[in-house]
Structure formats: structure tokens, C-alpha cells
Chain A
Amino acid sequence: MHLDPENHSHSGKSFPPNFTQKRYIETKRQIIPKDIFDPQTQVFCVENLSFAYAQKNIIDNVSFSLTQGELCGILGPNGSGKSTLFKCCMNFVPIKQGNISCFNENIKSTKVKNFAKKVAYVPQNDNTSFTFKVHEIIEMGRSPHRSILGLTNKDYAAIESAMENLGVAHLAKEYYHTLSGGQKQMVLIARAIAQESPLIFLDEPTSSLDFHNQIMVWNTLKSLTKKGATILVCCHDPNHILWFCDKVLCLKSGKLIAHGDPIDTLKNPILQHMFGDSCTISNVENVPVVHPRFFIEGE
């Protein structure tokens, strides 16, 4: 492997042709119907958002927007306000300053149930103390659509297609807590798909996965955006964002220091601003890779 920190050039996504042709779970169902899918439409818009906790500014005047079919990653060091920004977007914490709108509706005035029909959430890992079966977990995704009479055939169809889409149909009768990390993540994503929300927000979906599963999850997300889903991911690994995302939001001390196409945005000055001198970016066989700047040599 040749690391070449001095001579890297980004000109669009110039990955080798086989890079994007890896096998992954292709989701079959269209999330937004093709005829109304428009990559120009803004579906989620954050304006001048500030959030303070105990008089300390955690989010400082952040604005960004997501357009339909976008896969957007939030990147930043620990304590940069990533999680808080994420919680604000999910309406988990009350927003005092600024505005967040989803499909042109202010999320503060949106009812919890209606918001759930628009935005699905995939937590890092499910931390229930009770043992549910996989199909029970995925059924919960239908709760915003549920009537008092219980689940209808339409609900069951959505559950089944979500399970098939993500390749977890064979696990339906298993206990969730007995699954491997990768399978658990797929189940939680399947729940979000069953929820049929056009936006999906994920909180560090690959943090506890092995490398193969990390790539699986990202490719799955990518294929979901091709079907019209708009996805926001909180992420720790700049490489994942470089390889898979359409957009990156770089946070540092609560401020949005850069945003845009990952390959154009994640260059050395920005990386240095966020992570200090520790890392740098190079091209390895035309694929951009963020790697440590120094290696400690053995004697």
C-alpha cells in the first residue's frame, strides 16, 4: 500500500470502477415514488440552530439542509456537539434558538406521531432490558401508522417487505438479543424501513460492527438513498464519510466549520482543524483514505 500524503488530488469521485460494484443488499422497494422523487427538493432544513446546556453553548448557530435522496454524515471530534445536534434534529430535546423544519413544517409544532411518520430513527444499539423477538421489534416500526384496531394487512406487508429488503426475514423468530452486532443493526434499520418514513437518522450505526458489517451497513444506506430515502448519519470515521456519503457536516466546538461534498470538503486543513495533527489524507489506488500522519517506528 502506498501512502502518498504530498500528492493527492481529488477530482470528483474518481474511484476505480470496481469500487462501487461491491455486492450489497439491494433494497427493492421504492421509498419515495419515482415520479415525485426530486433531488432538488429540500426535505429537512436547520436554520441558525443554537443549543446551550447549563449556560454552555453546545451548538452554535448551525444551519444546513438536506435534499431528497441525500446521504449526509455528521463528522466531528468527541464533544463537538454531534450528538446534541442529532438530538435536536430528532426533536428529543426542546429547541430554544433557531428553527428546524421538516417538509416545510416546523418540528416544534409537529405532533410526535406525525413526526415519526416523516423521520425514522435508528439508535446505536437497542438497550431494552426485555427480550423481544425480531419480528416484534420490526412491528414496532408500524406504531405511527397503527389504528386502535391493531395492525392491518398493509402493516404486515410493510413489515415483511422491510425484513426481506434487509435480509433479516430468516431471523424473524429469533430473539433480538441473541443476534450478532451486524444482524442487530440490520434489524433496527429494517424497523426504520417498516416505518416508511422518507427520512432516516442513524446514530453511529457502525460503531460496534466489524469491518465487513460496517461496509454492509453503509452500502445498504447508500442503496436506500437510491430509492429516495434521505439519510443523516452521525459518524466517527472520516473514511466512511469519504467513501459513502454525498455530503458531510464538519463540527468543531458546536460550530459548523465546513459542509459539502466529502471529497471536496475533507481536506487537510479541515481535518487538522477537527482532529489536530494526528491524521492526513492520501489517495490509495484512487480511493481517498484518511490515515495517521505518523507511525511509531519499532527499533
Chain B
Amino acid sequence: MKKKLIPLLLLFLVLVLLFFYALSTGSYSIGTDIFHSVGIIIHQLGFESIGEKYQLDKTSEIILLNLRLPRIFLTILTGMALSVAGAIYQACFKNPLVEPYLLGVSSGAAFGAALAIIMPFSLFIGQGQVLAFFFAILAVSISYFLATTKSKTSPLHLILSGIVVGAVFSALVSIIKYIAEDAQLREITFWMMGGFYYAHWQDVIISSIVVLPSIALAIIFSWQLNILSLGDEEATSLGINPNITRLAFLTIATLIASVCVSQVGIIAWVGLMIPHAARMLFGSDNRILLISSALMGAIYMLLCDTIARNLTSTEIPIGIISAILGSPYLIWLLRSKGRLIHAS
């Protein structure tokens, strides 16, 4: 475990560097480089003595502190949350092919968001996000309820009921798309591709309140995930109640995935790919895997978003970048390390 500390620290360092790089680039040129952006952050944190050199004009300040910074934080939180949720789902279902949207988070959220978009009136502030979150949780709860018989929940039943619930909500989204007007249809499609365009500090605060403690909790109890991934009977014989433990972990994973999806839309692929990549680099021990997934997810998401912001003058939806960039990397990992790491 101690041997893996250095690679983890390196990952963290990469994340920090990328953070400052992302801050210094964008479609509006502030004329800063990485070192400059470090200085600005230190200056803004209240160390006035760092000097006049890092004073910003009003426009730059707004762009840097109210547009880029919250967006970068939201990107990091989302990357962490989706990757950790993916790793948890994979361990809970004993299946490395599972992603965090398995039980209907994405289709439920899509329905909620679409519903909010076609509503002719707005009931409350942030209606889209609240409805997306509510329906994401509702979809997963229905899946879980359908799969539970006699207070036992079999992973196979859960996967099946997740598929059923996902199909129903996708059909509902199709109905909404069918009756929606052109502008609304465009908005729904855009939402479903996911993106960080509208990131506010308020989103960052909500996300971090939910995501950070949840991830910390999952990491503390990650040794139970190892045991859970052996199967229900072995887990029981090792002193873990599989039903309760699985429910607890799925609740954590669903909660963090739903919060992120409701804020930034459906970002596919990350929750499946990053835990795999982390597993190939750091092994299957969930005590390391959750931490490394969180770091790698954050780096990856931030990298993709920075590219999405900078590659062309108009933004490319992040889902496209993350798939194009991620696939070759995963294939390379699979071919170079796959034989050692895959059980069959």
C-alpha cells in the first residue's frame, strides 16, 4: 500500500498543474501563463503582499474567478464523482462492465431535465436541476424496489430491473421530444450531451457538499467493497451483510452520480473507463482504486473540458472529446497490461 503512495502523489501533482494550466487558457486571452495563474490564485486567497503584479482588471477578474474557476472545480468534482461511482457500481455488481448509469440515473435525470425544459412556466429556481436530480433518484429507487424480493436483492435482478426502468424513462423522454418545439428539442439534445457551460459557484458548492463527504465515506469503508466483490456468500462468511452493505454503497454512488448528472447533463464513458484504467495501473484493491479513480477521473475530465473549451472557437460537447480521447488510451492499456490483470 505504501508503495502506491508515490504514484498517487504524482497523480495529484498532475491534477494541480492541469488546474493552473486550465485556468490560464481559454477563448478570451488574459495573457497569463501557468505561473501567472498560480500567482493570481495566491493573491486572491488574501496574500496581498505577493504584489501588484498579479492585480487583474475587472473583465479578467470576472472571467477568471466567476467563469473559469467554478467551471474547473465543477469539472474536477464531476470527474471524481462519476469515476468513484463507477468503481463502486463495478464492485457491488461483481462486474467490471458496469457503469454508474446502470440503474437508471441517466435516463431518470434526462426525463427530469426534459420535463423542466418543456414546462411553460418555472415553479422555482434551478427547476431543471432539481427535477433531474429527483427523477434520477426515483429511477434508481424503482429499480432497487423491483429487484428486491423477501428483503434480498440479487445483483442480476438489479441489472435487469435497471434496464427495464432505463427503457421506460427513455421512452418517456422520447415522448417529450416528440411533443417538444424545435428550440426545446435542441435544448434537450444539448443537455443530454453534457457540458460544463453554465457552471456557477452555486453548483460547485452544492456538488462539493454532496460529493466530497460521500467519496471520503466510500474510501473509509472501501475494504468492505473488496469483500462485497467476492459475492454474497463469501461476504456473509467474512462478516459483512451483503444486502445492507450493497445498499449503502449504491446509495452513495447514486447520490453523487445524480448530483453531477443533474448539474452538467449526461457525461458517458468516464464512469466506465476510468475505474478500468485505474484498476490496470493500481490493481483491484478498492482501498487504492477509489482514490486513484477519483484522481484520474478528475484529471481526465479536466483535460477533456480544457480541450473542449480551447480546440475551436465554439465549444465542442465534452462527451465527444471524452470518448475520442479515452478509447485509444483504454485499448492501449488493455493490450499492454490486460493479460496480467484480467481474471479470464
Using a CB–CB distance below 8 Å, which chain A residues touch chain B?
87, 90-92, 112-117, 119-121, 123, 126-133, 136, 140-141, 143-144, 146, 148, 150, 175, 177, 195
Q: Give the nearest-CB partner of B151 in chain A.
A: A94
CA distance A272 to B195 in the complex (A): 72
Please indicate the chain A residues that have their CB under 8 angstroms from the CB of B18 in the complex. Answer: none
Decide: A116 and B237 in contact? CB cutoff 8 A: yes
Please indicate the chain B residues that have their CB under 8 angstroms from the CB of A131 in the complex. Answer: 279, 283-284, 340-343
Decide: B238 and A128 in contact? CB cutoff 8 A: no
Given contacts A121-B237, A143-B238, 20 further A-B contacts (CB under 8 A): A90-B237, A91-B236, A92-B233, A112-B240, A112-B241, A113-B239, A113-B240, A115-B239, A116-B238, A123-B233, A127-B230, A127-B231, A128-B343, A130-B91, A136-B284, A140-B223, A140-B230, A143-B224, A146-B223, A148-B220
Please indicate the chain B residues that have their CB under 8 angstroms from the CB of A116 in the complex. Answer: 236-239
Quick check: is B315 within 8 A (CB to CB) of the other chain? no
**Contact partner, A130, options B220, B234, B236, B279, Cβ 8 Å:** B279
**Contact partner, B343, options A112, A146, A177, A195, Cβ 8 Å:** A177
Decide: A133 and B95 in contact? CB cutoff 8 A: no
Quick check: is B78 within 8 A (CB to CB) of the other chain? no
Min distance, Cβ B102 to any Cβ of chain A, angstroms:
15
Quick check: is B285 within 8 A (CB to CB) of the other chain? yes
Min distance, Cβ B237 to any Cβ of chain A, angstroms:
3
Within 8 A of A (CB), among B193-250: 220, 223-224, 226-227, 229-234, 236-241
Please indicate the chain A residues that have their CB under 8 angstroms from the CB of B344 in the complex. Answer: 177
CA distance A126 to B232 in the complex (A): 12
CA distance A112 to B235 in the complex (A): 10
Most B-side CB within 10 Å, residue of A117, A123, A128, A146: A128
Min distance, Cβ A269 to any Cβ of chain B, angstroms:
35
**Contact partner, B237, options A114, A119, A133, A148, Cβ 8 Å:** A119
Min distance, Cβ A88 to any Cβ of chain B, angstroms:
12
Decide: B240 and A143 in contact? CB cutoff 8 A: yes
Please indicate the chain B residues that have their CB under 8 angstroms from the CB of A146 in the complex. Answer: 223
Chain A facing B: main interface SS:
mixed
Min distance, Cβ A190 to any Cβ of chain B, angstroms:
14
Quick check: is B94 within 8 A (CB to CB) of the other chain? yes
Min distance, Cβ B76 to any Cβ of chain A, angstroms:
27
Q: List 14 A-B contacts (CB under 8 A).
A: A90-B237, A91-B236, A112-B241, A116-B238, A120-B237, A121-B234, A123-B233, A131-B340, A132-B283, A132-B284, A136-B226, A140-B226, A140-B227, A140-B238
Q: Give the nearest-CB partner of A175 in chain B.
A: B340
Q: Give the nearest-CB partner of A113 in chain B.
A: B239
Please indicate the chain B residues that have their CB under 8 angstroms from the CB of A177 in the complex. Answer: 343-344
Please indicate the chain A residues that have their CB under 8 angstroms from the CB of B342 in the complex. Answer: 131
Decide: B236 and A133 in contact? CB cutoff 8 A: no
Decide: B233 and A143 in contact? CB cutoff 8 A: no
CA distance A116 to B226 in the complex (A): 16
5 A-B pairs with the lowest CB-CB distances in the bound complex, closest first: A116-B239, A121-B237, A144-B239, A130-B284, A113-B239
Quick check: is B26 within 8 A (CB to CB) of the other chain? no
CA distance A114 to B238 in the complex (A): 10
Once A129-B343, A132-B226, A133-B283 are accepted as A-B contacts, the answer to whether A141 and B238 lie under 8 Å apart by CB is yes
CA distance A136 to B240 in the complex (A): 16
What 0/1 readout, one digit per residue, does chain B (306-344) give for beta carbons within 8 Å of chain A?
A: 000000000000000000000000000000000011111
Min distance, Cβ A55 to any Cβ of chain B, angstroms:
16
Quick check: is B39 within 8 A (CB to CB) of the other chain? no
Q: Give the nearest-CB partner of B285 in chain A.
A: A136
Please indicate the chain A residues that have their CB under 8 angstroms from the CB of B223 in the complex. Answer: 140, 143, 146, 150
Min distance, Cβ A24 to any Cβ of chain B, angstroms:
25
CA distance A248 to B102 in the complex (A): 47
Please indicate the chain A residues that have their CB under 8 angstroms from the CB of B236 in the complex. Answer: 90-92, 112, 116
